[in-house]
Structure 1
Amino acid sequence: MTTRSRARVPLVLAVVVVVGAGLLAACSSSHVARLGPDAVGSSTTSSVSATRPSPTSGPLARFYTQRIAWGSCAEMAPDGDYPPDRSDCGRVTVPIDYNRPDGATASLAVFRLRAAKQSTGVLVTNPGGPGVSGVDYMAGTAAQFAREPVGDSLDVVGFDPRGVGRSTPAVRCRTDAQRDEVRAKDWVDTSPAGIAATEQRNAAVGQECLAAMGRDFLAHLGTSDVVDDIDVLRGALGQQQVNYLGYSYGTLIGARYAERHPTRVRAMINDGAVDPSTDPVDDIVAQNTGFQRAFDDFAADCVTQRGCALGTDPARATERYVTLVRSLIGRPASTRDPRGLSYGDAITATGQALYAPSLWKYLRDGLAELTDGRGDTMLRLADLYEGRDRSGRYDTTADAFTAIRCVDGPAITDRATLDRLDTELRRTAPFRDDGRGSGRGAADECAFWPVPPTSQPHRISAPGLATTVVVSTTDDPATPYAAGVSLARQLNARLVTFRGTQHTASFEGDQCLDGPLTRYLLDLTPPAEGLTC
């Protein structure tokens, strides 16, 4: 379920839905869009986009030289917990198509926490996704940054990427009723007719987005354009260089910004890394393996707690779990909300809770409720992931997530590959197996997407890049530890290891980790070689 992001905000990392298996495969990258079957595995393909200059004259100059009209964040972030006397919000204008700078534009929402003392620069943050709001992230974490040494010396900035959150236009393709309808149905039929129905639904998503957003906008939603937006943001902030802190999918943005604009990076931390060179099939399998490992860790803890619905034997926890949730197929659990809890929502809720041990309690309580036929806690967890509030209104995260990842790399379209993947996912993540496997897999939305990809998987090359840092967690359920190792090698970065079962770790209170990262951001002293926390 890539996450789409970190545990502090609704998690939406990078989901590749193989509905025939009833799985949400967490990812954080975006290696899915429309190419032919031979594109799968093209992990050495060179970058599609060349380096663009930072112009002081010419048609792009008006974007780089704009100045942000800062004002109150009361309207843009009304529910945040941030110091209002140090927080400003504003907007940056970017061209939708950088090759047509005199054409249509987009407006990016920006949140700034001003340095408590003399500002020495800017730290640009991205919480992940794709599709997660950087404004919401900053509104929720600005108070923490304000207490940190980083917030003394650096302006900390978050932004909503094009198509996301409060940026305009924002991607919204499906109605709230359509979202509820899809979630209520059990997509577990792997007969030929069932696969056809699933693919018909997935194909409809692209057509709905095309009708709602237009072809030109959909074609320019990808990471390739976002990295240039960050460079425009740098110019609008009046900076020669930026410091960058990216989590999850945000590490893909960071890596590709470093590749395209290496000399404009002063310092960069990528935490919960996406490997830009990975094969999309291998990526999905690795992430599912990570979620099963996280489930096993949750189960080992749960069975020590009184009343655990998974029993007392961790070796049988997966068996007991699937028996419990498969009973929902065709028979949703009752909830105070009239929707009930579907099988798919139970799987989504479980994945949401596996992002961080702080959420395990809610999963434990939710599973205990299920033994009594009730699904309220699980439904709330699923709604958190899906971006649905208590009034029934969905945010834009899921639609933006799909639209962005579908232009960020090759789709999996080869029928034999889809069939093998379905079988492999059931093997590597048995807690997500609906028990209806037939050796057939369904193609997801990106296989039918109406615009081509703007990026390809490839190894990052960034000559002239300063020393950067990659943080990788040993049992990260969404972004495997090995992906961080690979990204550190590609960027020639300092690798920091965090031991734990969670998605991302930096600036969450662990001083073994936060202390060296803070020193790095402030005075460019890299963490010690081999640092493990």
Structure 2
Amino acid sequence: MPLAACTSTPADQPRQATEQLGPKGAVPAGLDRFYGQPLTWGDCAPYATSDGAKSAFAVKTLQCARLTVPLDYAKPAGDTITIGVLRRKATGQDNRIGSLVMNPGGPGASGMEAAANLAQGAAQGELGKRFDFVGFDPRGIGASEPQVRCLTDAERDEDRAEDLESDGSPAGVAKQETEAKDFAGKCAQRTAHGDAMLANVGTRDVVKDMDVLRSALGDEKLSYLGYSYGTRIGSTYAEAFPKNVRAMVLDGALDPDQDSVESLVAQGQGFGKAFGQYAAWCAARQDCALGANPAGATKAFQDLVRPLVRIPVTLADGRKLTFGDATLAAIQALYSQQLWEPLNSGLNELKLGKGATLMALADQYNERDRSGRYATTQDAFTAIRCVDDPRVTDKNKILDAAKRYDEAAPFLDDGGPEGAPLDSCAFWPVPSTSRPHEPAVAGLPPVLVVSTTNDPATPYQAGVNLAKAMKGSLLTYEGTQHTAFLQGIGCVDSAGTAYLVDGTVPPEGTRCPG
């Protein structure tokens, strides 16, 4: 029987409320205690693991809890781990539909932080009235315990300063492979539960956690919003639990049938296309760092950043802006048109031998705060990628992909010889647990896929392919940014809201102008 109780807390602390709303729906064998567990909701401040999370979690309408799940679902009586969960309750409880569970992608990004930020903007809208906004940090990430940990802050700073990826010579490739093998070893050594945690950190296991969460939240069916890699979580969940899905919005899709090599090349094409859009925008400005002719923007960019391969710019704090960080700054800026202005400013500064603005953009990508602390996002990104996709050890395939990437996004080409170093996944201590494929989703209700025409990170065609594979509806946004839903685009927000609330999918071929 569902229960709700309050526990005694000091007067200056928010009251804790324990709810048992599960189990709901079918419970896999041996998992009864997880599906029926109570959740104790309280203040979110103790869950913050970054400056961004501290700010986002300070809102008093948010509640946080820990969900307990098996470390290894094949051994449900064995070790357990916990998942950080955040919610903002629906403002219209009388018409509440249920929970809207979300994930922002990465892999490695915090779903708790994303939900906290999105919930505030949507609080007074239809979604905020009808749904509890719920975000969770997938296993190994953010507030979930244990975290995947590989490099210290100092080691990551040192890695960026060395910029080994810009050296394609045989000696450079050998050094990159030594570093990659060392990274894999440190992940196993520094992550609690070691190999066992790394073996069970992939999407295969995240979706099982999400089904436990659905039940513990008291929902018979899951309503889900996934961005970027979060679409991989969505499609994998839909395949594993098709009858447990109520509604699913997948925005900025990963192609489910594309391996890691082809995905990288497609992403290069996306960044190349977005850079062309940026160059056209910049050329119309009097202060454009790349000149007035968009056709010359790639060479102008190369002329600015390629000298950094040999001579980085030393900043006031002693850090060095390398070619790798300068190009990473450009990649970060291409995710959103709101960052095009600082990118142009940073490139103009670089002409004067200054690099603070570009470094700030690169730090934003790497989630490094002003005190020098890094979020563990990049560690988790690698760990998940290494078990989600089969390892690639064919150097001819790696070299071919590198060449095709540079051809697709020539502004990122360092001008040096191409190398074919094995990455950390080639040395990963545990095997992969899944592989790209079209999901088998018989019995799945209609899903909504949102795809942006000039998305730099997850190209438009990937969304087309995912919608087709899942027999879902495709909503096209004509713009240059990464993902679109709940970002103030009226046409997209209206269509997505109508679908989540009452299941209405937009007419076939619907396009939202930018």
Q: TM-score, normalised by structure 1?
A: 0.88
Determine if contact 2:104/2:228 at 8 Å carries over to the other structure.
Answer: yes
CA distance in structure 2 between the partners assigned to 1:415 and 1:450 by the alignment: 20
Change (3 A) 1:278 1:56: closer
User: Which residue of 2 is the match for residue 10 of structure 1?
Assistant: none
The superposition leaves residues 61-114 of structure 1 with CA deviations (integer Å, 9 ceiling, x where unpaired) of 100000210112233246335794532111100101001011111111101010
User: Which residue of 1 is the match for residue 89 of structure 2?
Assistant: 114
1:124 maps to which of 81, 101, 118: 101
CA distance in structure 1 between the partners assigned to 2:285 and 2:116 by the alignment: 35
Determine if contact 2:259/2:389 at 8 Å carries over to the other structure.
Answer: no
CA distance in structure 2 between the partners assigned to 1:83 and 1:510 by the alignment: 27
The superposition leaves residues 335-363 of structure 1 with CA deviations (integer Å, 9 ceiling, x where unpaired) of 22210211111011110000011110110
The superposition leaves residues 220-243 of structure 1 with CA deviations (integer Å, 9 ceiling, x where unpaired) of 000000000000001110111010
2:261 maps to which of 241, 260, 281: 281
Partner amino acid, structure 2, of 1:63 = F
Counterpart mapping for 1:299-314 below 5 A = 299-314=279-294
Counterpart check, 1:88 vs 2:60: no
User: Which residue of 2 is the match for residue 62 of structure 1?
Assistant: 33
**SS of the residue aligned with 1:257?**
helix
CA distance in structure 2 between the partners assigned to 1:84 and 1:328 by the alignment: 42
Counterpart mapping for 1:145-160 below 5 A = 145-160=122-137
User: Which residue of 1 is the match for residue 170 of structure 2?
Assistant: 192
User: Which residue of 1 is the match for residue 461 of structure 2?
Assistant: 482
Partner amino acid, structure 2, of 1:168 = E
**Residues matched between the structures, number:** 480
Determine if contact 1:172/1:400 at 8 Å carries over to the other structure.
Answer: yes
CA distance in structure 1 between the partners assigned to 2:304 and 2:292 by the alignment: 15
**Higher alpha-carbon deviation: 53-62 or 335-344:** 53-62
The superposition leaves residues 381-424 of structure 1 with CA deviations (integer Å, 9 ceiling, x where unpaired) of 11111111111111110101110110001122101111212222
**SS of the residue aligned with 2:47?**
coil
Partner amino acid, structure 2, of 1:410 = P
CA distance in structure 2 between the partners assigned to 1:349 and 1:84 by the alignment: 31
User: Which residue of 2 is the match for residue 396 of structure 1?
Assistant: 376
Deviation at 1:526, TM superposition (A): 1.2
CA distance in structure 2 between the partners assigned to 1:71 and 1:299 by the alignment: 48
CA distance in structure 1 between the partners assigned to 2:97 and 2:168 by the alignment: 58
Deviation at 1:56, TM superposition (A): 4.4
User: Which residue of 1 is the match for residue 180 of structure 2?
Assistant: 202
Partner amino acid, structure 1, of 2:74 = N
Deviation at 1:330, TM superposition (A): 2.6
1:496 maps to which of 475, 486, 493: 475
**SS of the residue aligned with 1:395?**
coil
User: Which residue of 2 is the match for residue 27 of structure 1?
Assistant: none
Change (3 A) 1:80 1:149: farther
Determine if contact 1:56/1:65 at 8 Å carries over to the other structure.
Answer: no
Partner amino acid, structure 1, of 2:437 = H
Change (3 A) 1:57 1:284: closer
Determine if contact 2:315/2:356 at 8 Å carries over to the other structure.
Answer: yes
Counterpart check, 1:321 vs 2:301: yes
**RMSD of aligned Cα (Å):** 1.5
Which structure is higher in helix share?
A: 2
**SS of the residue aligned with 2:494?**
helix
User: Which residue of 2 is the match for residue 71 of structure 1?
Assistant: 42
CA distance in structure 2 between the partners assigned to 1:516 and 1:131 by the alignment: 28
Determine if contact 1:291/1:351 at 8 Å carries over to the other structure.
Answer: yes
User: Which residue of 1 is the match for residue 250 of structure 2?
Assistant: 270
Deviation at 1:131, TM superposition (A): 0.4
Determine if contact 2:222/2:246 at 8 Å carries over to the other structure.
Answer: yes
User: Which residue of 2 is the match for residue 261 of structure 1?
Assistant: 241
**SS of the residue aligned with 2:121?**
helix
Determine if contact 1:83/1:142 at 8 Å carries over to the other structure.
Answer: no
Counterpart check, 1:413 vs 2:393: yes
**SS of the residue aligned with 2:123?**
helix
Determine if contact 2:45/2:58 at 8 Å carries over to the other structure.
Answer: no
Determine if contact 1:83/1:143 at 8 Å carries over to the other structure.
Answer: no
Determine if contact 1:421/1:441 at 8 Å carries over to the other structure.
Answer: no
Partner amino acid, structure 2, of 1:87 = L
User: Which residue of 2 is the match for residue 169 of structure 1?
Assistant: 146
The superposition leaves residues 131-186 of structure 1 with CA deviations (integer Å, 9 ceiling, x where unpaired) of 00111112222211212210101111000000000100011111111101110013
Partner amino acid, structure 2, of 1:499 = E
**SS of the residue aligned with 1:369?**
helix
CA distance in structure 2 between the partners assigned to 1:423 and 1:117 by the alignment: 54
**Higher alpha-carbon deviation: 326-335 or 168-177:** 326-335
**SS of the residue aligned with 1:217?**
helix
User: Which residue of 1 is the match for residue 13 of structure 2?
Assistant: none
Counterpart mapping for 1:346-495 below 5 A = 346-438=326-418, 440-495=419-474
CA distance in structure 2 between the partners assigned to 1:169 and 1:361 by the alignment: 38
**Higher alpha-carbon deviation: 277-286 or 443-452:** 277-286
2:204 maps to which of 203, 215, 224: 224
Deviation at 1:519, TM superposition (A): 1.1
Determine if contact 1:413/1:443 at 8 Å carries over to the other structure.
Answer: yes
Deviation at 1:429, TM superposition (A): 1.1
Determine if contact 2:44/2:57 at 8 Å carries over to the other structure.
Answer: no
Determine if contact 2:438/2:469 at 8 Å carries over to the other structure.
Answer: yes
Which protein, 1 or 2, shows the higher relative CO under an 8 Å CA cutoff with sep ≥ 6? 1
Partner amino acid, structure 1, of 2:169 = S
**SS of the residue aligned with 1:328?**
helix
Identity of aligned residues (%): 49
Deviation at 1:203, TM superposition (A): 1.2
Change (3 A) 1:330 1:116: same
Deviation at 1:58, TM superposition (A): 5.0
Change (3 A) 1:141 1:425: same
Counterpart check, 1:137 vs 2:114: yes
Deviation at 1:212, TM superposition (A): 1.2
CA distance in structure 2 between the partners assigned to 1:93 and 1:284 by the alignment: 35
CA distance in structure 2 between the partners assigned to 1:121 and 1:277 by the alignment: 32
CA distance in structure 2 between the partners assigned to 1:273 and 1:512 by the alignment: 19
